[in-house]
Amino acid sequence: MTATETDCLLVIDVQADFLPGGALAVPDGDAVIAPINALGKIFRHVVLTQDWHPAGHASFAASHPGKAPFETTALAYGPQVLWPKHCIQGTSGAELSPGLALPHAQLVIRKGYRPGIDSYSAFREADRTTTTGLAGYLRERGFTRVFLCGLATDYCVAWSAVDARAARFQAVVVEDACRAIDRDGSLERAWGDMAAAGVERAESGAIGG
């Protein structure tokens, strides 16, 4: 696979809270940094996302008395997994990893900033109607394909990839540049959802410039 001028690398949520020692650490999460930096040397166009929640966000278990992290609750838009508090606006846990070597990244899109709505996807919030503006940005820039990497495979990467397809972009998940939370079969389910949506898979070593 060759990266072209109409391809954009989409780096999902490589933030302190998802890395070892963070509030919602993804197992082996820091293993994504080296392959992402290598991809950064291949892709001229890079967009980053940043999970960016206000304190007291509806996706936090602590916002729901009696609920524990990783339980599910019903919100107005449907079922919501409840998480430890993470990626709170302006905190060190929300910062992008200083290990990322992507000085040429062109946009950081923040998501999950509405108090009552989560947003795993970089394109569309969990109510499935509120958009982030990313599809319009990518289209106006002339991109037709996105390559996705980052954290976590089974949540923000998968939902972003599926929504990229819904917005009529080609979507390729770079498997070795992602890591998963993988609880209760979430990773297998996510790969099934992505396959059904027409998301492709690749290894970073198979992508050239």
- Residues making contact with ligand VGL (CB under 6 A): 13, 18, 51, 83, 120, 151-152, 155-156
Cβ proximity to ligand VGL, 44 vs 175, nearer residue: 175
Distance of alpha carbon 199 from the chain centroid = 15
CB contact at 8 A, 200 and 172 = yes
Q: Does 13 bind Zn ion (CB under 5 A)?
A: no
Candidates 33-41, 45-53, 88-96, 143-151; binding stretch for Zn ion (CB under 5 A): 45-53
Which partner in Zn ion, ligand VGL, none is near 3 (CB below 5 to 8 A by kind)?
Answer: none
Q: Determine the Cα–Cα distance for residues 197 and 19; give it in Å rounded to an integer.
A: 28
Would you list the DSSP string of 86-116?
--BTTSGGGSBPTT---TT--EEEEE--STT
Q: Which residues are catalytic?
A: 13, 111, 156
Taking the complex as a whole, the smallest distance from the CB of residue 110 to Zn ion amounts, in Å, to 11
Q: Does 51 bind Zn ion (CB under 5 A)?
A: yes
The residue count for the chain: 209
Tell me which residue has its CB nearest to Zn ion.
51
The beta-strand segments (E) located in the chain are: 7-12, 46-51, 72-75, 78-81, 107-111, 145-151, 170-179, 200-202
Cβ proximity to Zn ion, 24 vs 172, nearer residue: 24
Q: What is the DSSP letter of 54?
A: P
Taking the complex as a whole, the smallest distance from the CB of residue 53 to Zn ion amounts, in Å, to 6
Cβ proximity to ligand VGL, 185 vs 205, nearer residue: 185
